[in-house]
Amino acid sequence: MAHIDQVLGPADDTVTFFQPRAMVYVTMLWVAAAVWVVCLGLHILIRLALGHPLPGDSLVMYLELALILPAVFSAVILLVAWKRFGWLHSSMHGLDFAATGRKPVHLPWAGIATVSLRHWGPFRELVVTPIAPDFATVLDGAGRAPRMRKRGGEVSYLVDVGLMSPGPEVLIAELHRRLPTKV
């Protein structure tokens, strides 16, 4: 009797989902800029509330900081995580995935109990729950241990998919298409 992962299929049936670097950079840039502008605004308001007036050239300096620091911060984070962005491969052999900065995981289709999405926007996550923890195989690779959620006796794997291309809705449709139907 052949092991479920030893069944050979066409080599071109893999569907790959990945996080485009440009989309990650632009999203990080907007989030960092929003947080930084709010912090600078609070700093200015607190300074004025305490009776410390702003010198004439301070407003230009604050504007420059609001424009430059988020761009530099986002670029540094992007360079640090350059080869460690999340990805997901769906093929006839099963599901392979890795969250950003984490080791990859392989699950055969028969070993997946449920897949679902949670949260929204760039923070959207895929929750993959195996039938039993021993169905999942943590593969060799760089990074920390896979992201997991343990509730009761159930273990689920989490993958950041909010910025994946094609989008999370296409991803979940692909996974539901491949999952064996349970009767």
pLDDT at 137: 93
Is the model's pLDDT at 181 over the cut of 70?
Answer: no
Tokens of 93: 């052999």
pLDDT at 55: 78
Is the model's pLDDT at 3 over the cut of 50?
Answer: no
Q: What is the mean pLDDT of residues 143-157?
A: 91
Mean pLDDT for all residues in the chain: 86
Is the model's pLDDT at 131 over the cut of 90?
Answer: yes
pLDDT at 119: 93
Q: Point out the least confidently predicted range of 54-68, 74-88, 151-165.
A: 54-68
Is the model's pLDDT at 4 over the cut of 50?
Answer: no
Kind and range of the H or E element at 107?
strand 105-107
**pLDDT band at residue 30 using 50, 70 and 90 as cut-offs:** very high
The residues, any chain, with a CB within 8 Å of residue 134's CB and separated by 6 or more, are none
pLDDT at 53: 83
| Identity of residue 26 | V
pLDDT at 41: 87
Is the model's pLDDT at 103 over the cut of 60?
Answer: yes
Could you give the percent of the chain with pLDDT greater than 90?
Answer: 48
pLDDT at 182: 56
pLDDT at 138: 94
> What is the architecture, at CATH level 2, of domain 14-19+85-178?
Roll (2.30)
Is the model's pLDDT at 1 over the cut of 80?
Answer: no
pLDDT at 149: 94
What backbone torsions phi and psi does residue 114 show, to the nearest 5 degrees?
Answer: -150, 155
pLDDT at 183: 44
Question: Could you tell me where in the chain the CATH 2.30.29 domains are found?
Answer: 14-19+85-178
> Could you check whether the bond before residue 166 is cis, i.e. omega within 30 degrees of 0?
yes
Q: What is the mean pLDDT of residues 122-133?
A: 92
CB atoms within 10 A of CB 90: 20
